[in-house]
A = this chain, B = another copy of it.
Amino acid sequence: MINPNSPPPALPDGALRLVALGGIGEIGRNMTVFEHAGRLLVVDCGVLFPEDDQPGVDLILPDFRAIEDRLDDIEAVVLTHGHEDHIGAVPFLLKLRPDVPVVGSRLTLALLAAKCREHRQTPRLVEIGDGERRSFGPYDLEFFPVNHSIPDAVAVAIRTSAGVVLHTGDIKLDQLPLDGRLTDLAGFSRLGDEGVDLFLVDSTNAEVPGFVVPEREIGPVLENVIRKANQRVIVACFASHVHRVQQVLDVAVQYNRRVALVGRSMVRNMGIASELGYLRVPEGLFVDLNEAMDMPEDQVLFVSTGSQGEPLSALSRMARGEHRQISIKAGDTIVLASSLIPGNENAVFGVVNGLARLGATVVHQGNAKVHVSGHSPAGELLFLYNAVRPTNVMPVHGEWRHLRANAALAVATGVDPERVVIAEDGVVVDLIDGKAAISGKVEVGHVYVDGLSVGDVGESTLSDRLVLGEGGFIAITVAVDSTNGRAVAPPTVSGRGFSDDPKALDQAVSLVEMELSRTEAEGITDSHRIAQAVRRVVGRWVAETYRRRPMIVPTIIPVN
């Protein structure tokens, strides 16, 4: 009998197993591990950006524990495209296994290589082309071109003796893509003819009805905005969205504006993209920021990062009037040609309001069609299911609401509901005799990167940060004679993040003194017990007086 909450049984010969170490039940840090014939294959290895309840954290990694004893079994890491949530954790995996082959398309690998250089790593790269087929151990891989919000994305078919798996990666079906590179729906149909045993499908937009508007329809909207501008124009978008930037550049050329790139990742990525021919930049179009500042305002256009309201970005600094070089004035035009990632609303609208307050015209998703998504909504997902006609389906890349919506679409196209597997990170799914089913669960947690270290910040530290962030702390320090438990100096009571009023805690001092007299009278000399008594009396007083819940931190220093 299978227990879905225990580690799975040994994998039967000839079967295929998969488990997501990140990216299912959440959006981000995508990483799926396949096991077949004793060998592993990893698809994607990305990071997740933290949310409100993970304060102070820089990045969240997939949890490698499930494979840490089997690193040598990994045949390859396949990257479907170059976004951070698909490649960002590769350097952390390479630290554990530096020589693993990393497989991907040209732009994907170029972006990965740049990232690895920052980590002083030289990965073993294996470039593949559209339609190419290549084996790694028992895995026979075929790569299909797909559209997404970055060029050169691929879906991957994995042929094994257990069956054929198709993983979409991130996908959409733009029928008029800017680079003419269509999602290979015909290839999917051909694979469907051959028989797809398990279809892993991007769920991000499964709740959204309909179809994505072609990326190329953004161009005319941008043109309309930029044509009317007679002062400074700043367009912010994702630093990897080559086609969006291409359209901005095209409009700049049309209206005789030169272009300055703002933001480290924008400069880096567009450098790579133009070098490899993904971005067409007319000779002399780019100008550096300092030079741009000396040019007439109607002859320059800035392409910037910061579209998600990142507080340290150039755009946020401009909105606060704190940018060293660019100060926004009435009549300037700013375009946020980007999505609004849930959770970033306050930050993004803070930037929009700051710019509006300075008198700028701010064009964004909410008031103009300056963004289209990179993920297939429901209408397109139906096309995919009908092309592939899979036997088993597993929605990936999504929170629970997206997974459920995607599963319903699969069923609507005729997939047996019993063959639609909704799993989340750590849930092990086995494909045995052509049927996919949950076989168990491995432990998968959040691995936090905070500053230089990985993993030492965990749930208990985060829970302390949440308490401190809500209510601050009150520290009570007492030096106590360890022989008799008598305080050798008056107690110090101080708070941070508790009150602006310097006298707020005065009353607590006498309460602590009374409590110390009591503990001394009772002959209590143990620091820990004294600390507990002090915490209790101060905690109760604060709750009654203020109805607040700061962290109470007593420190008893034993002297003598």
Contacts and interface: CB of A to CB of B under 8 A. Distances in A.
How many copies of this kind of chain does the complex include?
A: 2
Contact of A546 (B357, B452, B467, B551): B452
A498 B349 CA distance: 31
A56 B451 contact: no
Interface stretch (A255-263, A265-273, A468-476, A508-516): A468-476
B353 A494 contact: no
Contacts of A477: 477, 555, 557
Contacts of A56: 469-472, 497, 548
Interface in A476-524: 477, 479, 488-489, 492, 494, 496-501, 504
B342 A461 contact: no
A325 interface: no
A367 B405 contact: yes
A220 interface: no
Given A555-B475, A559-B479, A468 B489 contact: no
Which residue of A342, A424, A494 has the most chain B CB atoms within 10 A of its CB atom? A342
Nearest to A494: B555
Say which size band chain A's interface belongs to: 35 or more
A33 interface: no
Interface stretch (A190-198, A232-240, A396-404, A413-421): A396-404
Interface string A77-116: 0000000000000000000000000000000000000000
A384 interface: no
Contacts of A551: 496
Interface in A339-356: 342-343, 345-346, 349, 352-354, 356
A22 B367 CA distance: 26
Contacts of A489: 479, 557-559
A496 B468 contact: yes
A141 interface: no
Centre residue among A399, A464, A469, A498 by max chain B CB count within 10 A: A469
Contacts of A400: 352-354, 356-357
Contacts of A342: 345-346, 349
A534 to B, nearest CB: 14
A466 B488 CA distance: 35
- Closest 7 CB pairs between A and B? A469-B469, A451-B547, A468-B468, A464-B497, A356-B400, A465-B497, A458-B500
Interface of A: 25, 51-52, 55-56, 207-208, 342-343, 345-346, 349, 352-354, 356-357, 362, 366-367, 399-401, 403-405, 424, 450-453, 456-462, 464-473, 475, 477, 479, 488-489, 492, 494, 496-501, 504, 545-548, 551, 553, 555, 557-559
